[in-house]
Structure 1
Amino acid sequence: MSSSYTVQLTESKGSSAWKPSAILNTADNGATITTGANEAENLRQIQKAGRQLDNLGLKQVDLLGENWSLERQWAFHKGFMDTRSTNQVNWANHDAEALARLQQLADVSNWTRELINLPPNAIYPESLAQRVIEKLSAVAGDAINATIIKGDELLEQGWIGIHSVGRASQKDPVMLVLDYNPSGDASAPTAAALVGKGITFDSGGYSIKSSEGMLAMKCDMGGAATVAGAMALAIQAGLQKRVQLILCCAENLIDGSAYKLGDILTYKNGLTVEIVNTDAEGRLVLADGLLKAGEIGAELIIDAATLTGAAQVAVGNEYNALFSVDDELATQSLQFAAEHNELLWRLPLQNWHKKNCPSAFADTANSRPQKGGGAGGASNAAGFLLNFAPRDGQGWLHFDIAAAYHNQANAMYAAGATAHGIRTIAQHLLTI
């Protein structure tokens, strides 16, 4: 067998030895993938073929032929890449710009996936912040300035959500504020702020998860990794506007100092929040991040979080869910997602969703005391965040990233993180 295993695209069905329905035909030294008239379906089938070749034990392939567009090559890469990102795809021979874009995508996607897949003994709030600083400094050099606020400093500065969620852990909770300012002008306006949920492990707190439900909770910092990856991708693509990254990082654990059901938190904007579910912690830390974005004065604010199981129930594992009260901005986001072949679906959010988690003892509760937050749980969580979004939610997008992580391998992805969503968010930064 040749040391080089090639993969080519064809529009013909190939040898009669294969069933007419076969998309992937394999031989000793190479494989062919059959394409059709529907390009969206072609991309799905190419990604599935990549997954099948990884399952066969291949670790390196060469893409050959003229039919490999950038999007087709990227679809194959998503399917072929194994959980630990050890497989290698040698791109088809195209122009230098396309090859550079593909390599940037691969590098940032693999970094994002690896960060999410790391075990919780390796990733805790401060180590997550440090890894993000190292990556973005490597990409942007002196244009990066980072500030870490941790432990009781959070409480002193009023970041009550992050501190409350993370105070029971031996690892200090952290807010990372990373400023990318390519102009070097300290007075330059911040064009955008990215806010990420960085719960490096989520036990559920006193609303404790089952063992099965807790096993994958290293992925609960997927929002932080996704916005960090999007920022790195945009910088590599030539981003020239000032953007700040705000990561809200904590371990949601249990001891005698942990926050409890019935506690009432008072946020910097004066809003009081009754805790009715300690497993609805992501929105508590994101509230601090949104308030910080408001202090910065960013025109565009995007947050990303593995926030609710309700979003996953609504859109499945293939789509991310989008929430916004800014219709023009939401439409733009759906367009960007379609252009980059990242499945995204808008779910309902209205101003009245802010009141959908009522409390008799505070301005609002952090959820409803029902399984999954009750009916419309994902919209109610987004409505909670809307209480903290500047300008009544104009210029704000909330991504509930249901497609960011798969507990088990499937026909499209290896087990673990997917990095789904980084291209859409990066495109927002590149068009501000």
Structure 2
Amino acid sequence: MTDRIIVVLDNQPAPAAWGNAKVSFQGNTARIHLGEGDLYRQVQAAARQITAQGIQSVTLQGEEWDPVLQWRFACGFGTAKVPGEIEWASHDDQLEPQRDAQLWLKDLTNATPEALSPEVLADEVAERLSGLAPDHITSRRIVGDALLAAGWVGVHGVGRGSERPPVLLELDYNPTGQHDAPVSVALVGKGITFDSGGYSIKPSAGMVAMKCDMGGAATVAAALKLAIRRGLDKRVKLYLCCAENLISGHAYKLGDILHYKNGTSVEIVNTDAEGRLVLADGLIAANESGAERIIDAATLTGAAAVALGDDYNALFSLDDEAAEDALDAAAEVDEGLWRLPLEPFHADKCPSPFADTANSRAVKGGGTGGASNAAGFLSRFAGTPPKGWLHFDLAGSYADSDNGQHATGATGMGMLTIANLLLKA
């Protein structure tokens, strides 16, 4: 085989010598043999098989490659170490920006916890996005004890146990030229660059992949990057809540009570339910911006993954119209998204005798309904923006091992949906 392999789609079975193989090779050409059923999953699975042959560079060839099929191939191609090179069959202007944003998202999420501290994450996002539109972007960071002085008790509380300080990044993309332009969308991302669980410490096996706990921050940042490259003409604010959840003499403890800027008091009954604590600050800040719609994204609960596996992200909203917008946006870009229950009563599912609410339940895994209960907690801080609040629990954003559709590591699922929502705002 040559260094670069041509990949074509074929509606016929593989030659008899290949048996029931879904991919066959002849010279420098690989053929993906399509059968009945979901063609997109077949193509993505075939990309994994081609990758397994050590192939790192491909040319997609033929009129059969529509943009979604090409994208699904890209989602399955390559590894965390070697993402691979793809020459598109068509639609380069659409697919290349998507691929660029996806690879950035993956690089951020797959980076080691040592390399990606909270400050490094905030700086990388600010620098990369500012480089796209330097005349339209401003940003500021609130770092360390300055967070406490500013009232951002969630980010500060979770991150104070680390020697590397927590950060709240606020980035303002305003292409309108008007300093008082309304904020169309506020994006909030969970940026826990490593999650030990704190004093509610995780077992070692459960900690191995916890560099991915900043996947929400990477997802909303990459979505904004893609939307900007596609001509986003509305004002968007981005809030990244960045911290390391570690154990030390300075770390927050079970029984502590945090008093948030919106007047809500929260008892800590599980230091491993930290994501919702930092997102609460981001949601308060998003409301202060007056945003018409608020979108947050987080690798928030194992319960969402138990419910949906790794083929869907979970969606929560108290606004049916906003939820329909999100589901439509996901369908248009062929990303798995499933709405799970959220009602006003979920805000009261984590009661505390000492505060307005606890941050979880003091039982293993937070008890039943954990994903909805976490969303209910966030609803205390989400406000009622005119176009609704959308919470993405990113069950499908990271693969602990090669699963036949994705390589081990970040998948990028959710980025296209959120970028689509931004462009439709």
Question: What TM-score, normalized by structure 2, do the two folds share?
Answer: 0.98
Query: What letter is aligned with 1:172?
Result: P
Given the superposition, is the C-alpha separation of residues 86 and 394 from structure 1 closer, same or farther in structure 2, using an over 3 Å criterion? closer
Is 1:286 matched up with 2:279? yes
Q: Does 2:73 correspond to 1:46?
A: no
Unaligned runs of 5+ in 1: none
Query: Structure 1 residue aligned with 2:241, among 248, 266, 286?
Result: 248
Structure 1 equivalent of residue 101 of structure 2: 108
| Mapped contact 2:106–2:412 kept (Cα < 8 A) | yes
What is the Cα deviation at residue 59 of structure 1?
0.7
Asked whether 1:86 is paired with 2:83, we answer yes
d(CA) in 2 for partners of 1:149 and 1:12?
59
Contact 1:165 1:250 in 2 (8 A): yes
Residues 386, 392 of structure 1: alpha-carbon distance in 2 compared, 3 angstrom cutoff: farther
> Could you say which residue in structure 1 is the equivalent of 2:404?
411
Q: Which residue of 2 aligns with 1:157?
A: 150
Query: What does 1:342-381 align with in structure 2 at a 5 Å threshold?
Result: 342-381=335-374
Cα deviation per residue 1:97-129 (whole Å; 9 max; x = unaligned)? x21111001100000001000001110111000
Query: Is 1:60 aligned to 2:53, yes or no?
Result: no
Matches of 1:14 and 1:254, distance apart in 2: 56
Which residue among 380, 384, 387 is the counterpart of 1:391? 384
TM-superposition CA deviations, 1:69-107 (whole Å, max 9, x none): 111111111111211343111111x3xxx2111100110
Q: Which residue of 2 aligns with 1:173?
A: 166
Q: Percent identity?
A: 56
The aligned amino acid for 1:207 is: S
Q: Following superposition of structure 1 onto structure 2, how do residues 168-207 of structure 1 map, counting pairs within 5 Å?
A: 168-207=161-200
TM-superposition CA deviations, 1:3-53 (whole Å, max 9, x none): 43111011111412233x432122331111122464xx1110100000111
Match of 2:27 in 1: 28
Q: Within the alignment, does 1:263 sit opposite 2:262 as a pair?
A: no
Question: TM-score, length-normalised on structure 1?
Answer: 0.96
Query: What is the aligned partner in structure 1 of residue 9 from structure 2?
Result: 9
**Structure 1 range deviating more: 81-90 or 288-297:** 81-90
Alpha-carbon distance in 1 for matches of 2:13, 2:133: 47
Change (3 A) 1:418 1:326: same
**CA distance in 2: counterparts of 1:254 and 1:2, whole angstroms:** 51
1:336 to partner: Cα distance: 1.2
Task: Flag structure 2 segments of 5+ consecutive residues without an equivalent.
Answer: none
For residues 57 and 308 of structure 1, what CA distance do their matches in structure 2 show?
A: 35
Q: What stretches of structure 1 move > 4 A for 4+ residues in a row? A: none
2:273 is aligned with 1:276: no
* Cα offset, 1:237, TM superposition: 0.8
By how many angstroms is 1:409 displaced?
1.2
SS at match of 2:16: coil
TM-aligned CA deviation for residue 387 of structure 1 = 0.4
Name the aligned partner's letter for residue 235 of structure 2. R
CA distance in 1, matches of 2:299, 2:5: 37
Instruction: Give deviations 1:338-370, integer Å, cap 9, x for gaps.
Output: 111111111000000000000011100000011
SS at match of 2:31: strand
**Counterpart AA for 1:164:** G
Q: Deviations over 1:226-279 (max 9, x none)?
A: 000000011111100000000000001111111110011110011110000000
| 1:309 pairs with 2:302 | yes
Contact 1:326–1:393, Cα closer than 8 Å, also in 2: no
Q: How many angstroms does 1:176 deviate by?
A: 0.1
**In 1, distance between residues paired with 2:146 and 2:2?**
60
Q: 1:132 is matched with which residue?
A: 125
Contact 1:325 1:394 survives alignment (8 Å): no
Cα distance in 2 for partners of 1:47, 1:140 equals: 33
Question: How many residue pairs align between the two structures?
Answer: 425
Tell me if structure 1 keeps the 8 A contact 2:168–2:239: yes
RMSD: 1.2
CA distance in 1, matches of 2:240, 2:107: 18
**Quick one: distance in 2 between partners of 1:326 and 1:403?**
23
1:191 touches 1:242 (CA, 8 Å); kept in 2?
yes
Does the aligned pair in 1 maintain the 2:269–2:362 contact within 8 Å? Answer: yes
- Alpha-carbon distance in structure 1 between the residues aligned to 2:278 and 2:205: 24
Alpha-carbon distance in 2 for matches of 1:289, 1:333: 20
Task: State the alpha-carbon separation in 2 of the partners of residues 115 and 4 from structure 1.
Answer: 27
